[in-house]
Amino acid sequence: MRLVTEAGESTQRLAESVTESTQAAAQIAAAACQQLTGVEQISQAMQSISMATAQNVAGARQSEQAAEALNALASQLRDTVAHYQL
């Protein structure tokens, strides 16, 4: 009878360990899902930053071209005005 009792107790401890392991695995899975969500949000933010940077570069290039064009016009105007100075 003692062996049967010990076997029952061992089976009970084993069942408790399996339950604890299952709960730990579920917690790990939930944490992994949360991390995945966080990584996806970071990825989206980085894409937004990359797009904004590309737009800023394009805007800077346009500003540079406009400044060069204005500089050329100012030079032409200076030359034209120089002909009319007294």
Tens digit of pLDDT for each residue in 32-75?
999 999 999 999 999 999 999 999 999 999 999 999 999 999 99
- In this prediction, residue 83 carries a pLDDT of 87
The three-class DSSP label of residue 5 is helix
**CA pair distance 41, 45, nearest whole angstrom:** 6
- In this prediction, residue 41 carries a pLDDT of 98
- In this prediction, residue 38 carries a pLDDT of 97
Q: Which domain, by its residues, includes 33?
A: 1-86
Max Cα distance, the chain (Å):
127
What does the DSSP 8-state code read for residue 22? H
Which structure tokens are listed for 58? Answer: 């394009």
**How many domains does the chain divide into?**
1
Where residue 86 falls among pLDDT bands split at 50, 70, 90? low
